């Protein structure tokens, strides 16, 4: 009997991991979880309700994950702040582990999928790009929501978030030893998708 496929995508903000993960999930007909949304929802709910972030993490509903507010700049910043709190990570951990290990297999993207949530993943990709390239990509997304936002503000956000995510003690952003590195700095989205497909296929076959 073949083992279920678990495919882990990790990497810093706007590296392209979410786009690549959702394409691979569709290719292999696997359920997909954007784990960053869980941290965005916890930070947002804690802010809106004025409650403890770990309590907020326990009150996330599927409807909340569709809230447009989670896509904004503030939600990303708040997510990274609450993600450094061990009680928040603990509250969200089992759901992610169960999602990754469901019988069908799964694709997840985040910061600690290959290191903490699914160290047993069939294939792990660590997706990255230079801070400037990532800031350009993220600025293009966010300026549609806030036309006054500048590239420099987004670059500053990205640098702060990178440092916080990599520097925290609990489940920091880091490449798993057995993860495959995919640097998308010089790749457009189509080329990045082709590179991810090739790396996954080498490890998993066509399934
Ligand atoms: O899309 P982007 O990479 O900008 O952010 P995200 O994946 O939505 O994650 C937002 C924040 O949540 C990150 O900056 C991390 O601090 C945190 N996060 C985490 O700690 N662990 C995860 N598995 C996913 C996100
Ligand atoms: O999930 P993550 O924050 O890592 O990034 P994303 O949301 O997948 O990608 C951020 C933006 O960069 C999206 O608009 C992608 O289409 C774009 N992108 C790109 O232009 N070129 C790449 N090689 C990868 C992503």
CA of 2 to the centre of ligand 1 (A): 31
φ/ψ region of 206 (left if φ > 0, alpha if ψ in -120 to 50, else beta) reads: alpha
Q: Which residue's entry shows tokens 């952003």? A: 173
Furthest CA-CA distance within the chain: 55
CA of 55 to the centre of ligand 2 (A): 31
Domain borders along the chain are 6-200
What whole-number distance in Å separates Cα of residue 53 and Cα of residue 50?
A: 9
DSSP string, 2-41: PPPPEEEEE-STTSSHHHHHHHHHHHTT--EEETHHHHHH
User: Of ligand 2's atoms, which has the minimum distance to the CA of residue 141?
Assistant: 14
Ligand 1 test: best mutation among 36, 78, 86, 162, most atoms within 8 Å of CB?
A: 36
Q: Which residue's entry shows tokens 């996330």? A: 60
Q: Is residue 19 marked as binding?
A: yes
Q: Which residue's entry shows tokens 């290719």? A: 27
Q: Per the structure block, which two tokens stand in for 54?
A: 């770990």
CA of 48 to the centre of ligand 2 (A): 28
CB 56 within 8 A of CB 85: no
CB 131 within 8 A of CB 94: no
| Cα 63 from chain centre | 19
For the chain, percent of residues with pLDDT exceeding 70:
99
What whole-number distance in Å separates Cα of residue 200 and Cα of residue 195?
A: 9
Ligand 2 test: best mutation among 9, 11, 13, 16, most atoms within 8 Å of CB?
A: 16
User: Of ligand 2's atoms, which has the minimum distance to the CA of residue 20?
Assistant: 8
For residue 1, pLDDT beyond 60: no
Q: What is the ipTM of this complex?
A: 0.98
Whole-number average pLDDT of the chain: 96
Please tell me the pTM assigned to this model: 0.97
For residue 6, pLDDT beyond 70: yes
- CATH number for the domain running over 6-200: 3.40.50.300
Residue nearest to atom 1 of ligand 1 (CA): 13
The tens digit of pLDDT for each residue in 33-69 reads 999 999 999 999 999 999 999 999 999 999 999 999 9
Q: Which residue's entry shows tokens 């640098």? A: 159
Within 8 A by CB and 6+ apart from 41, the residues are 56, 60, 64, 65, 67, 70
The tens digit of pLDDT for each residue in 98-148 reads 999 999 999 999 999 999 999 999 999 999 999 999 999 999 999 998 999
Which one, of 152, 150, 137, 117, lies nearest residue 184 by Cα?
A: 137
pLDDT at 204: 86
What whole-number distance in Å separates Cα of residue 26 and Cα of residue 51?
A: 37
């Amino acid at each position: 009997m073949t083992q279920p496929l678990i495919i882990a995508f990790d990497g810093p903000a706007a590296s392209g991991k979410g786009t690549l993960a959702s394409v691979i999930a569709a290719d292999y007909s696997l359920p997909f979880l954007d784990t960053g949304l869980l941290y965005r929802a916890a930070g947002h709910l804690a802010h809106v309700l004025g409650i403890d972030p770990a309590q907020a993490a326990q009150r996330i509903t599927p409807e909340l994950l569709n809230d447009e507010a989670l896509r904004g700049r503030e939600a990303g910043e708040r997510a990274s702040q609450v993600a450094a709190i061990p009680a928040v990570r603990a509250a969200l951990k089992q759901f992610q582990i169960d999602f990754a290990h469901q019988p069908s297999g799964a694709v997840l993207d985040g910061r600690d999928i290959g290191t903490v949530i699914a160290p047993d993943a069939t294939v792990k990709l660590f997706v990255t790009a230079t801070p400037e390239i990532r800031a350009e990509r993220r600025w293009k997304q966010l300026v549609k929501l806030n036309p006054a936002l500048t590239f420099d503000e987004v670059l500053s956000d990205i640098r702060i978030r990178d440092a916080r995510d990599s520097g925290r003690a609990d489940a920091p952003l880091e490449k798993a030893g057995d993860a495959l590195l995919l640097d998308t700095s010089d790749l457009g989205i189509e080329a990045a998708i082709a590179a991810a497909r090739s790396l996954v296929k080498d490890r998993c076959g066509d399934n």
